[in-house]
Structure 1
Amino acid sequence: MKNKYWILFISLSFGLLSCSHDEKHFKLEAEIKAMPKESIILEEVGYNETQRIDSTRSDEKGHFVLSGIYKEPALCRVRIGDQFILVVIDGEQIDIKGNWNDLQGYTSNNSPGSTSLANFYKNYIVAIKDILALQMVTDSMNNSNAADSVLTPVKKELEAKTVVLNTFIKNYADTTKSLPVALFAASKFLSEAGEIDYLQKFAANLPQRFQKTNLSIEFQEKVKKAAANEPKLIAPSIGSIAPDFTLTSLDNKSISLKDFRGKYVLVDFWASWCVPCRGENPNVVAAYKEFKDKNFTVLGISLDSEKDKWQQAVMKDSLTWQHVSELKGWESTVAMVYGVRSIPSNFLIDPAGKIVAMNLRGDDLKRTLSDKLNPPLATNNKTEKPVTAK
């Protein structure tokens, strides 16, 4: 009888422990130096949706507190005005310290996942800036028909740096002890089309590395689906006809690429969350203002998954041309058809529907448009007879 009660007691204890494990309270306390008073929103970031957890306002010292309940370690976004930081909710008390001028460089002494995430992001930003700078040089050379002897070394350097970055991302995803960070690195920074073999192996190893969670199950299903539906496509190139598509605009209208036949159109892939894209937008705005009355327009294709974020970015950056999206993030079919593996990416299409330039940025965009839309004046070939004095 005594053993029976002892077994019952153990069973109840495990039941209570299980309940406690399933639902825990957390408090996130942050202090961001030099931060103005701002509204703060905490959101859990999933693959298909974002769930709001809590909101507050910061005080004059940049201090704020957010709280909620979590069932498993989760990737969350702290929206601070129109900026944000990513954190991992992996404990009951999470302390964040940072500076308004370098939000992503925050520190946390009691959230291993947040520390791992901040470290990953810091290294990624340094590497991607070098790659984007080289990409701009390469695109400029391609569009100006630079000699192979000049272009080839730059291309090799770009390829080498891209390989180094991809290796860093994979190593981080394979070694971090935080499941949300591992999934974030693998799913947000590696192309499904180009890395499906790696992603399948990564997904298969998750059960050996981490406790099963809803997030890991969702990721495994996502990879399985991507492998089954992997498109066997050849990305379009300069000189080829741009593949047609029909997508939904911000005001829920269907817009097709063929609607723009007869005009030069810049098909611009971007997203509200893409920092390099937002940095490039002023250049696109300037080009649009200069050439919009010369048979030119822009069609923005967003790789956002949330309409409100997309719409806010369009308004904030004053992007007054037409915009469309599938709201599927990197699962965008059109992005896959066009072979887009990083953003910003763009394609300049002529009035006949042919791709005449790709990945135009900064001054290259204006220069190319000027060449296409401001042809040199025709010279007068008539020879005037000399006037002779009588």
Structure 2
Amino acid sequence: MKRSIFLIVIFIVGCTSKNNNTFHLKAHIKGIKEESKVLLFNYDKFQVMDSTIVKNEAFEFKDVIEYPYEAAVLIKEDTLMIQFWIEQGEISINSDKETLKETGMSYSPYVKSEKINPIIQNYLKLTEPYYNKKAEAYNKLTSNLIGEKEYEIKEKEYEKYLDTIYKVSYDFLMRNSNNYFSLSEMINYKEEYSKEQLDNYYNKLPSKLKESPKGILLKEYMESSIVNVGDVAPEITGKDLEGKKIKLSDYKGDYILLNFWASWCAPCIKKIKRNFPTIKEKYADNNFTIVNYSFDVDEKSWRKVSNQLNIDWVNFSNLTNMGRSPTAFKYGIEEIPTSFLLSPEGEILKRISYEDDLIQELAKVLDK
């Protein structure tokens, strides 16, 4: 009899124990419309993760997550968006519609959770004054009323606030390294810090964060070296819109125009419309292949714009944001469109930047 009672107790405890990877978001927002649809958006994946309906000015979401992520709650009927971070444990939003609207595009202070969201608010309190001063300096810098000498003074003032933001942010992230938000923010600032600074931060991370997707991404960036003309082009793998696996090296033997773009990039679309039909026709019989690699994260947008542009050449992606893409790290992509001309052996012959005339730059090499 005692053994049976013991087994029942174990069973009950096992069934009622909380999953450590579960989040539970409960929101009560005065003034939101009854029966409004609420979307939970994931910025990392750039997709809607869940939806629900407002009942009695309240709604909730619950799910299991492996890692925290930057999120937003969207209530279209009330034109309301609330930015915050999803993390394991209880998350609450208690406020009214108008107050939440005043927060705008910033992380909402009305979102309460155990760890990450409080850290974000401390981070914002620390950095916001410097961002405000930077904005003031920028407005003065871009004013048409200042002369050349005054411009130099204002430019130095602007750069001073910018440097201060980087320093203050780095110090804060180093003091608060053991969370996914700080790791994400360090990745956002990666190009402003030295490899030594990034290495010092990375070494403070616990194993779980080092092994996380963003921990691996930071490590890859630290170990990456940007290619130059004369180097062999790094391999790129991905899938096209039909799901076919694509490798850049599959097209060795031809001259390759490797073009980095995205459907949300207006200059990319403009350049493809203006230049690519001409390039395709001009070099059709020259062992020449066009390869587009997209930094889209939303497949629907990528597909839609690709169809609108009548892209019938190689067009593939990993659906990874440019700022978090190992491919962008290796090729040193900081802006798009950026293109590379590769030799039949895979050597980089020319890097063609956003401002360059693509047709002229290709002609300098291929027309010889």
Distance in 2 (alpha carbons) for counterparts of 1:41 and 1:72: 20
- In the TM superposition, residue 311 of structure 1 has moved relative to its aligned partner by 0.7
**Who is 2:27 aligned against?**
28
Amino acid across the alignment from 1:174 = M
Distance 1:86 1:201, change over 3 A: farther
**Who is 2:331 aligned against?**
338
Distance in 2 (alpha carbons) for counterparts of 1:72 and 1:259: 37
Distance 1:170 1:301, change over 3 A: farther
Q: Which moved more, 1:347-356 or 1:178-187?
A: 347-356
**Who is 2:235 aligned against?**
245
**Who is 1:78 aligned against?**
72
Distance in 2 (alpha carbons) for counterparts of 1:203 and 1:235: 24
Amino acid across the alignment from 1:68 = K
Distance in 1 (alpha carbons) for counterparts of 2:358 and 2:208: 44
Q: Which moved more, 1:68-77 or 1:197-206?
A: 68-77
**Who is 1:3 aligned against?**
none
- The answer as to whether partners of 1:32 and 1:99 remain within 8 angstroms in 2 is no
SS at match of 1:26: strand
SS at match of 2:211: helix
Alignment equivalent of 2:279, drawn from 288, 295, 308: 295
Amino acid across the alignment from 2:301 = A
**Who is 1:136 aligned against?**
none
- In the TM superposition, residue 346 of structure 1 has moved relative to its aligned partner by 1.8
SS at match of 1:243: coil
Instruction: Among all aligned residue pairs of Structure 1 and Structure 2, give the percentage whose two residues are the same amino acid.
Output: 14
Amino acid across the alignment from 1:220 = K
RMSD: 5.7
- The answer as to whether partners of 1:265 and 1:349 remain within 8 angstroms in 2 is yes
- The answer as to whether partners of 1:269 and 1:303 remain within 8 angstroms in 2 is yes
Alignment equivalent of 2:259, drawn from 243, 261, 267: 267
Amino acid across the alignment from 1:201 = N
**Who is 2:174 aligned against?**
174
Distance in 2 (alpha carbons) for counterparts of 1:108 and 1:234: 39
Q: Determine if the alignment matches structure 1 residue 108 to structure 2 residue 98.
A: no
**Who is 2:152 aligned against?**
none
SS at match of 1:354: strand
What residue ranges of structure 2 are gaps of 5+ in the alignment?
1-9, 139-154, 281-288
Distance in 2 (alpha carbons) for counterparts of 1:175 and 1:74: 19
- The answer as to whether partners of 2:37 and 2:52 remain within 8 angstroms in 1 is yes
Distance 1:91 1:227, change over 3 A: closer
- The answer as to whether partners of 1:266 and 1:348 remain within 8 angstroms in 2 is yes
**Who is 1:220 aligned against?**
210
- The answer as to whether partners of 2:37 and 2:54 remain within 8 angstroms in 1 is yes
Q: Determine if the alignment matches structure 1 residue 311 to structure 2 residue 299.
A: yes
- In the TM superposition, residue 196 of structure 1 has moved relative to its aligned partner by 5.1
Amino acid across the alignment from 1:293 = P
Q: Could you report, residue by residue, the CA deviation over 1:75-103 in whole angstroms, capped at 9, with x for unpaired residues?
A: 3423647x976413464422475449x85
**Who is 1:4 aligned against?**
none
Alignment equivalent of 2:270, drawn from 286, 303, 306: 286
**Who is 2:200 aligned against?**
201
SS at match of 2:184: helix
Distance in 2 (alpha carbons) for counterparts of 1:99 and 1:178: 31
- In the TM superposition, residue 262 of structure 1 has moved relative to its aligned partner by 7.0
Distance 1:38 1:201, change over 3 A: farther
Taking structure 2 as the reference length, what is the TM-score of the superposition?
0.55
